[in-house]
Amino acid sequence: MIAGHVVRTPLVPTITLSNDAGVPVHLKLEHQQVTGSFKLRGAANALLSLDPERRARGVVAASTGNFGRALAFAASQAGVPAVICMSKLVPGNKVEAIRALGAEVRIVGTSQDDAQEEVDRLSAEHGMAMLPPFDHADVIAGQGTIGLELLEDLPDLETVVVPLSGGGLLAGIALAVKSANPRARLIGVTMERGAAMHASLRAGMPVLVEEVESLADSLGGGVGLANRHSFTLVRDLVDDVVLVSETRIADAIRFAYRQEQQVVEGAGAVGIAALMAGLIERPGRTIIVLSGRNIDMNRHAEIVSGQPAEATRA
């Protein structure tokens, strides 16, 4: 359904990481997607799957930035009104990028949960279709097309390293990859600060986690206490989840730029951070998904120049 609406992103070998890890390592350049992140796949699939009459009433979503940008783009292409609700923690560059695509932006509270309350109200009062950024079957299916591409490009893959937030990306890729290759290992990587899915997996159920600023701002937000899909899929299909520090995220952003000539945001760099830190045991033939590039370029310049790894400034 999304063919023609998204880019089939390249899978490229990385000599430096391969030499450091002692195994073949490839990078999935999903940050080269049209809107700068993988989110367009799920957003486009969910939007196009809506009944035309419901779609015409408009769509609404909560976002930490990248899903909102993707949904705003997909909605503009389809001529559909869109409202994106975000918290005050979302960096300004991501907010402005969404506005530039014609979507209405609402800044609500200091967490993804606060933004979701506004989404629920708009959906109930105006009949807008609510499209969650990760916990939605069509969104997960859209993200799963990445896994299909990985299998086509590197059928003998052994380990796939994927950024982890609400779990839509990791769940979709894991479903696709493990269906064809059950022995493949799927590793989720997230930041140490406010890692909601990691905390929920440890608790055995979705739990609330305080949102705090992080270089990996796109990985912020909760998983939803009423999570229907992504928590269970991540719990059942993913082999391990590892955490990386702010310093390691900054190092990975710097490495991606200097060694790979790739501009990636903090969330997109966490897989590189985990591999560089030796947190992926026995990786074998490895793919690292670079999930997004939507970083404030002034902040990127600071990180690349070696300034301290402090939290992203909105």
Q: Kindly list the domain boundaries of the chain, sorted by start residue.
A: 11-36+136-304, 39-130
Q: Which residues are catalytic?
A: 39, 291
Which among 133, 162, 144, 176 is positioned nearest to 47, based on CA atoms?
A: 133
Helical (H) or strand (E) element with 27: strand 25-28
Residues 6+ apart with CB under 8 A from 264: 31, 252, 253, 256, 257, 272, 290, 292, 293, 295
CATH code, residues 11-36+136-304: 3.40.50.1100
**Residue whose tokens read 């705090």:** 212
The alpha carbon of residue 104 and the mean position of all alpha carbons in its chain are separated, in whole angstroms, by 22
Q: Domain 39-130 has what CATH class? A: alpha beta
CA distance 192 to 196: 10
What per-residue confidence (pLDDT) applies to 309?
62
Strand segments (E) across 52-98: 59-62, 82-86
CA distance 140 to 232: 12
CATH topology identical between 11-36+136-304 and 39-130: yes
Burial of 127 (0-12, 13-18, 19+ CB in 10 A): exposed
CA distance 67 to 56: 20
Q: List the chain pLDDT tens, one digit each, 314 residues.
A: 899 999 999 999 999 999 999 999 999 999 999 999 999 999 999 999 999 999 999 999 999 999 999 999 999 999 999 999 999 999 999 999 999 999 999 999 998 889 999 999 999 999 999 999 999 999 999 999 999 999 999 999 999 999 999 999 999 999 999 999 999 999 999 999 899 999 999 999 999 999 889 999 999 989 999 999 999 999 999 999 999 999 999 999 999 999 999 999 999 999 999 999 999 999 999 999 999 999 999 999 999 998 766 543 33
Which among 67, 65, 59, 64 is positioned nearest to 38, based on CA atoms?
A: 67
What per-residue confidence (pLDDT) applies to 314?
33
The alpha carbon of residue 132 and the mean position of all alpha carbons in its chain are separated, in whole angstroms, by 13
What per-residue confidence (pLDDT) applies to 238?
98
